[in-house]
């Protein structure tokens, strides 16, 4: 994968080589573009980065549920209390999946991949951090 918003081949291989049976929580750190920017050059029609990401999110939420996952928590950020300029984010979300295999199944679904164009257009930068999901109690 060549996008800075997608895992490198090494990251994907490491994720796929890890235990595929235990629950996982994916922490999403999101910084939106002011205006959506589509890699294929299409006119975003004044769409904001957050709105473009929302188009992706509509599909992603259905796919998350389809593989047995659920949105655990999401909120806009209020303040970066500790950190520098590169540590500012617009939103944080935590999505819990039954296991890594479910997450990998989701990101390989054609309609999910198709919606990812909106994710790419909307994000200035992102970090996606895999954490043990069996530590989440709610």
Quote the CA–CA distance of 50 and 53 in Å, as a whole number. Answer: 5
List pLDDT tens digits, range 3-22. Answer: 777 888 899 898 889 888 99
Quick: pLDDT tens for 17-47: 988 899 999 999 999 999 999 999 999 999 9
- CA pseudo-torsion sign 8, 131, 67, 112: negative
* Structural domains of the chain ordered from first start: 9-135 (3.30.70.100)
CB atoms within 10 A of CB 73: 13
| Prediction pTM value | 0.89
Contact call for residues 96 and 70 (beta carbons, < 8 A): yes
């Amino acid at each position: 994968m060549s996008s800075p918003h997608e895992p490198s081949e090494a990251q994907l291989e490491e994720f796929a080589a890890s235990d595929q049976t235990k629950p996982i929580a994916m922490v999403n750190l999101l910084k939106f573009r002011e205006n959506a920017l589509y890699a294929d050059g299409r006119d975003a029609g004044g769409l904001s980065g957050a709105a473009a990401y929302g188009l992706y999110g509509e599909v992603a939420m259905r796919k998350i549920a389809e593989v047995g996952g659920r949105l655990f928590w999401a909120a806009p950020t209020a303040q970066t209390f500790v950190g520098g300029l590169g540590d500012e984010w617009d939103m944080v979300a935590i999505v819990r999946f039954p296991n890594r295999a479910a997450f990998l199944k989701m990101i390989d679904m054609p309609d999910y991949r198709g919606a990812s164009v909106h994710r790419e257009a909307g994000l200035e930068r992102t970090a996606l951090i895999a954490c043990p999901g069996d530590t989440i109690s709610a």
